[in-house]
Chains A and B, each alone.
Chain A
Amino acid sequence: MTDELATWQRAFGAVLRAPLARRAGTLTPPRDAYPAAIVTALGGDRRGLAAYHVQYWCRLFEALQHEFPLTCALVGAWTFNQLAEGFLAATPPRGHDLARVADGFDAWLKATLPIDGVALPAGDARPRAALLEAATIDQAFRAVFAQPPPPPPRLSRAGLARARLVRSPAAVVVVERWPLVALRHGQRHAPEAAVGLPPPHPAGPQAWVIAAVADGQRVSPLSPLEAALVDRLTALPVAAALAEVERAHPADAPAALAAAVHAALARTVELGLWTGAAPG
């Protein structure tokens, strides 16, 4: 019995996973191209088979749009679905969690864009960079959503200078050149047409912390000093990181700079970036 089922389900599944035809702005099931053996087994019913075919793709497109709303907004649903189709063809869905069909989409975009035949918004390298930045931000929100808020870190002053802080999986730092985090906040439904890409931040890149908290997620801006400190603390023991940041930010009043760096350190702790400290 299972051999018969396996054979049938392989053939039926292949029909479902075949791309829909793109004609005049609509997705159309290629009814005339369905394998004769499948159509015969269904008593010649191409209409019903087409319904399953469309349903397969629409459900997955919606799942990806939901998981990557900012990316979808930047290119519009039509182009996004074309990207999603390429991703899903390379990475068919596995497992029971529909949201997880989007796992790896950001990495796939980075490896794959530009894709032949996908019309990205006008022209140069900027839209591609913005799209990849958007996908990274969407993925950061997904990663944090999957994490419980961590307990407050146990940090004592003794030995802290030589210790390395341990990054929390429940807090992710993203750096944006365009104000995309704010744009994502306003996206509730996948737009058919691409929304305009806002101008880049005039003062340079902006860093944000996305962190799991008791009632959901908290999004907090980081100052340039705080962002630099997080970067160094992730790589170096605490004292070395502080010293490097102070060296990189020469100031007329070293005491004031040291105080600012220590305040920045305290804020990164408040924001939930660290779970504790490990021997350096």
Chain B
Amino acid sequence: MFATPAPPASPARAPRQDGVGVGLRPAHYRELAEIEVGPDYLEIITENFLGPAPAPRRHLARLAARYPIVLHGVSLNLLGHEPLDEAYLDQVARLADDVDAAFVSDHLCWTGAHGVSHHDLLPTPHTEALVDFAATRAAYVQRRLGRRFALENLSSYVTFAASTMDEATFYRRVVDAAGCGFMLDVNNVYVSSQNHGFDPHGYLAALDLGRVVQVHLAGHTRQPDGLIIDTHDQPICDDVWALYAAAWRRGGPFPTLIEWDARIPPLAVVMAEAARARTVQGAVAEAAP
């Protein structure tokens, strides 16, 4: 109903289909510019490069000369009640042009309402009406940016009595109707499955993994009360690696990204996680019939 053909990725600047990238964080600017063998590509938090400060853009320009760059936003507010912020979309489009981003992603969530930004990725019920609402807006964003656009599934800590479908169905239907891609966060699938008691492998089975534009991997924290919080502040756990292997077996190859956003370790630690992703990919390939 809403789908339009997805714009192709810019081939010259696209990450390799089996590439493993890392999230660009200021602590690693210098080392990433100088390291002999770096990641296959970098993902930036879009909003970190939209402000007036010249220093982040200067670092980005330097790194973009060496690495493919993709954009990952946290403020689109796709499921917010207010109209999409056209000025923000203008800025994102300019930044994507500047680094020739192969694709742009953001989240299937709301982040602000009534003029207030909550700076968090907040869930909604999973309903028919919101499938249409989200898909219409996601399709518009993809057309507006003129680039492949992908939606990320959330880690969530609540469910809604008003939901009429499970999260995987909601996610798949929005992406299908919008004609965009999945930015599948495997850690988020795991976190939500543990918090809400569903089968994470069933979640993967419900998606068309051929439409995955990128996969995210990250660490999380289990609170004393048992709730798992998507903290991105530690190594990826074995269960998430196993889920990643399952996703790769079902739908790989796809570009993979290691996210680390708090208590950021030396780059070597993040690169070791990237190496482990390649090991998992290799193990899946070896085990294939």
Chain A residues within 8 Å of B, Cβ to Cβ: 1-6, 8-10, 12-13, 16-17, 40-43, 45, 47-49, 51-52, 55-56, 59-60, 63, 92-101, 145-149, 212, 216
Q: How far is the CB of A138 from chain B (nearest CB, A)?
A: 15
Residues of B within 8 A of A92 (CB): 116
Number of A-B contacts defined by CB within 8 Å = 114
Is B114's CB under 8 angstroms from A9's CB?
Answer: yes
Of all chain B residues, the one with the shortest Cβ separation from A93 is: B117
**Complex Cα spacing A9 to B122, Å:** 10
Contacts A13-B113, A96-B75, A96-B88 given; does A56 touch B118 at CB 8 Å: yes
Residues of B within 8 A of A16 (CB): 118, 120
Residues of B within 8 A of A17 (CB): 116
Residues of A within 8 A of B47 (CB): 96-98
- Considering only CB atoms and an 8 Å cut-off, how many residues of chain B contact the other chain? 43
Is B51's CB under 8 angstroms from A100's CB?
Answer: yes
User: What are 17 A-B interface contacts by the 8 Å CB criterion?
Assistant: A5-B110, A6-B81, A6-B82, A13-B113, A13-B114, A40-B161, A41-B161, A42-B161, A47-B227, A48-B195, A52-B122, A52-B157, A92-B116, A93-B117, A93-B119, A96-B50, A145-B53
**Complex Cα spacing A8 to B156, Å:** 17
Residues of B within 8 A of A99 (CB): 51
**Complex Cα spacing A269 to B54, Å:** 22
B133 at interface, CB cutoff 8 A: yes
Is A98's CB under 8 angstroms from B227's CB?
Answer: no
B283 at interface, CB cutoff 8 A: no
Is B53's CB under 8 angstroms from A146's CB?
Answer: yes
Is B51's CB under 8 angstroms from A42's CB?
Answer: no
B289 at interface, CB cutoff 8 A: no
Chain B at the A interface: SS class = loop
Residues of A within 8 A of B129 (CB): 1, 4
Q: How far is the CB of B224 from chain A (nearest CB, A)?
A: 11
Q: How far is the CB of B97 from chain A (nearest CB, A)?
A: 18
**Complex Cα spacing A49 to B133, Å:** 24
B99 at interface, CB cutoff 8 A: no
**Complex Cα spacing A3 to B114, Å:** 12
Residues of B within 8 A of A43 (CB): 159-161
**Complex Cα spacing A96 to B76, Å:** 9
Residues of B within 8 A of A12 (CB): 113, 122
Residues of A within 8 A of B122 (CB): 12, 52
Residues of B within 8 A of A63 (CB): 119
Of all chain A residues, the one with the shortest Cβ separation from B228 is: A51
Within 8 A of A (CB), among B111-170: 112-120, 122, 124, 129-130, 132-133, 156-162
Contacts A48-B195, A52-B122, A52-B157 given; does A145 touch B55 at CB 8 Å: yes
Residues of B within 8 A of A145 (CB): 53, 55
Is A9's CB under 8 angstroms from B195's CB?
Answer: no
B80: which of A9, A56, A212 is its contact (CB, 8 Å)?
A: A9
Is A97's CB under 8 angstroms from B159's CB?
Answer: no
Residues of B within 8 A of A40 (CB): 161
Q: How far is the CB of A25 from chain B (nearest CB, A)?
A: 17
**Complex Cα spacing A2 to B130, Å:** 10
Is A5's CB under 8 angstroms from B80's CB?
Answer: yes
Is A94's CB under 8 angstroms from B117's CB?
Answer: yes
Of all chain A residues, the one with the shortest Cβ separation from B54 is: A148
Residues of A within 8 A of B114 (CB): 6, 9-10, 13
Residues of A within 8 A of B238 (CB): none
Residues of B within 8 A of A48 (CB): 156-159, 195, 227
**Complex Cα spacing A93 to B118, Å:** 7
Is B119's CB under 8 angstroms from A101's CB?
Answer: yes
Contacts A48-B227, A101-B119 given; does A216 touch B55 at CB 8 Å: yes
B11 at interface, CB cutoff 8 A: no
Q: How far is the CB of A9 from chain B (nearest CB, A)?
A: 3
B229 at interface, CB cutoff 8 A: yes
Q: How far is the CB of B87 from chain A (nearest CB, A)?
A: 10
